[in-house]
């Protein structure tokens, strides 16, 4: 947890007054001696004498001397104090807390969860990071098992998760990323998600202090990386910035869940093929057999005509590549001698959300949201864009063929 961050909500006087006073006292009491005297704040448990204005000023003046656990609690309470999170917070509270008042407020709900079940709040925090609120595309790189048949997955218990955290923290510390690694495992219908919270290399930024003077903030940013494991195929999709992180994450999962650090092949993975676009044309985009997807459009394609080390790349981009070709009386495979190495697709989901999916050979996919991965991966399997499923594709090919031809 960074030692420097801006408390946006917990320093608001109005919010502080709205909090259940008993819950507020439970949160602050362990740090009463630290808060005493900070910006003239005087500690008292008497609600009538308690100065919320002084507490607000004290919260705005937190610095590197603030107890780490206090910063950690404030970070999570502040982060969740947004109406957007009320429903997932309530669902978590119903699972972890015996009873929840019908009249509980958002802020009191966050405080209650932190005080009663902090681990569940951290787990929820990790899960919500899949959504990536800023809308940045997520880049997943896929790897497969080195075994001919995937081994059964041993779901990690608490001891195994702690062992994974220790291994990853040792790597992070020796690679200048600090301590505090946390691992969160979430089993889903057809996949297992592993979220990894860790630090980035330290950053130093100029700041303006409360008195208008110059200052300097030296901190370690927080980030979340993701892994998605598909037990049926032995595929591991990793969302991490560096090759070193991909290597340690896959080795850690292999070691603790399969008993083999080299369970995943990081060298020879070749997951995707874009041949269906040239061989089937528009029919390759059929999605009527995948509930949840309304339509898919190809809007950009990269074709490599290069020989050996010579780069000869053609990029075709328009609202609908196939529609443009049809108007010209052409097809994508007409006199086709190149290799499609990258394709960008516009996906309209059943609820009318529109997002993009980019496939880049041999094993990279970019998603607008991490949570789109499982549904779109199922579509890619059905249309033959995933090499690993060529046998399954042949088995189901006849049952799907009539629908695909009708779409074309």
274-293 confidence digits (pLDDT tens): 999 988 999 999 999 999 99
Structural domain harbouring 180:
138-265
Pull the structure tokens for residue 112. Answer: 């209650």
Q: Are residue 403 and residue 297 in the same domain, yes or no? A: yes
Check pLDDT > 50 for residue 396.
no
More confident residue, 385 or 188: 385
242 occurs within a structural domain: yes
Q: Are residue 147 and residue 261 in the same domain, yes or no? A: yes
pLDDT band of 5, cuts 50, 70, 90: very low
pLDDT for res 391: 37
pLDDT for res 150: 87
Q: What is the number of domains present in the chain?
A: 3
pLDDT for res 261: 93
pLDDT for res 8: 60
pLDDT for res 2: 40
pLDDT for res 72: 83
pLDDT for res 388: 59
Q: Are residue 258 and residue 288 in the same domain, yes or no? A: no
For 265-288, the DSSP string reads ESSS---B--HHHHHHGGGGG--T
Q: Are residue 280 and residue 398 in the same domain, yes or no? A: yes
* pLDDT per position as a tens digit, 13-40: 777 888 899 999 999 999 999 988 887 8
Q: Are residue 283 and residue 402 in the same domain, yes or no? A: yes
Check pLDDT > 70 for residue 229.
yes
248 occurs within a structural domain: yes
pLDDT for res 309: 66
Q: Are residue 194 and residue 247 in the same domain, yes or no? A: yes
Out of 131, 150, 170, a domain closes at 131
Instruction: Give Cβ neighbours of residue 57 (< 8 Å, ≥ 6 apart).
Output: 39, 40, 41
pLDDT for res 7: 62
Q: Which residue has the tokens 């040792």?
A: 170
Q: Are residue 145 and residue 249 in the same domain, yes or no? A: yes
Q: Are residue 24 and residue 114 in the same domain, yes or no? A: yes
8 occurs within a structural domain: no
Q: Are residue 260 and residue 283 in the same domain, yes or no? A: no
143 occurs within a structural domain: yes
* pLDDT per position as a tens digit, 66-99: 888 888 888 888 888 777 788 889 989 988 888 8
376 occurs within a structural domain: yes
pLDDT band of 174, cuts 50, 70, 90: very high
Q: Which residue has the tokens 């917070």?
A: 89
Out of 109, 131, 153, a domain closes at 131
This prediction's pTM:
0.64
Percent of the chain past pLDDT 90, that is, above it, reads 38
Check pLDDT > 90 for residue 65.
no
Check pLDDT > 70 for residue 9.
no
* pLDDT per position as a tens digit, 200-211: 888 878 877 767
pLDDT band of 330, cuts 50, 70, 90: confident
Out of 131, 162, 190, a domain closes at 131
pLDDT band of 4, cuts 50, 70, 90: very low
pLDDT band of 164, cuts 50, 70, 90: very high
47 occurs within a structural domain: yes
* pLDDT per position as a tens digit, 124-134: 888 777 655 44
CB-based burial label for 151 (10 Å; 0-12, 13-18, 19+): middle
The answer to whether residues 263 and 145 touch, using CB atoms and an 8 Å cutoff, is yes
259 occurs within a structural domain: yes
Percent of the chain past pLDDT 70, that is, above it, reads 88
Q: Are residue 116 and residue 205 in the same domain, yes or no? A: no
Range 124-147 average pLDDT: 74
125 occurs within a structural domain: yes
Check pLDDT > 60 for residue 345.
yes
CA angle 367, 370, 373 (to 5 degrees): 70
């Amino acid at each position: 947890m960074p030692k420097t961050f801006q408390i946006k909500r917990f320093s608001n006087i109005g919010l502080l007054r709205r909090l259940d006073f008993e819950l507020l006292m439970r949160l602050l009491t362990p740090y009463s001696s630290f808060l005493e005297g900070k910006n003239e704040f005087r500690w008292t448990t008497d609600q009538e004498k308690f100065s919320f204005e002084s507490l607000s000023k004290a919260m705005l003046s937190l610095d590197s001397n603030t107890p780490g656990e206090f910063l950690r609690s404030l970070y999570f309470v502040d982060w969740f104090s947004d109406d957007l999170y009320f429903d997932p917070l309530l669902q978590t509270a119903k699972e972890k807390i015996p009873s929840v008042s019908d009249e509980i407020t958002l802020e009191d709900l966050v405080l209650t969860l932190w005080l009663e079940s902090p681990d569940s709040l951290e787990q929820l925090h990790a899960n919500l990071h899949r959504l990536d609120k800023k809308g940045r595309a997520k880049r997943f790189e896929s790897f497969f098992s080195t075994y001919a048949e995937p081994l059964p997955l041993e779901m990690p218990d608490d001891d195994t998760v702690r062992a994974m955290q220790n291994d990853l923290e040792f790597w992070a510390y020796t690679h200048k990323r600090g301590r505090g690694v946390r691992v969160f495992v979430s089993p889903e219908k057809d996949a297992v998600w592993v979220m990894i919270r860790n630090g980035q290399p330290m950053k130093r930024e100029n700041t303006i202090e409360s008195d208008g003077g110059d200052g300097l903030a030296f901190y370690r940013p927080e980030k979340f990386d993701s892994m998605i494991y598909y037990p049926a195929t032995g595929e591991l999709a990793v969302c991490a910035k560096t090759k070193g992180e991909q290597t340690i994450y896959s080795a850690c999962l292999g070691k603790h869940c399969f008993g083999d650090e080299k369970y995943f092949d990081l060298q020879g993975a070749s997951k995707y093929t874009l041949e269906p676009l040239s061989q089937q044309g528009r029919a390759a985009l059929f999605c009527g057999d995948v509930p949840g997807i309304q339509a898919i459009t190809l809007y950009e394609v990269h074709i490599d005509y290069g020989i050996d080390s010579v780069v000869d790349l053609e990029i075709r981009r328009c609202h609908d590549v196939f529609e443009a070709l049809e108007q010209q009386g052409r097809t994508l495979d007409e006199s086709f001698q190149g290799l499609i190495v990258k394709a960008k697709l516009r996906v309209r989901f059943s609820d009318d959300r529109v997002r993009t999916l980019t496939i880049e050979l041999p094993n990279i996919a970019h998603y607008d949201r991490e949570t789109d991965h499982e549904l779109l991966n199922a579509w890619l399997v059905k249309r033959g864009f995933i090499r690993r499923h060529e046998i399954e594709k042949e088995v189901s090919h006849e049952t799907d063929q009539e629908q695909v031809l009708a779409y074309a």
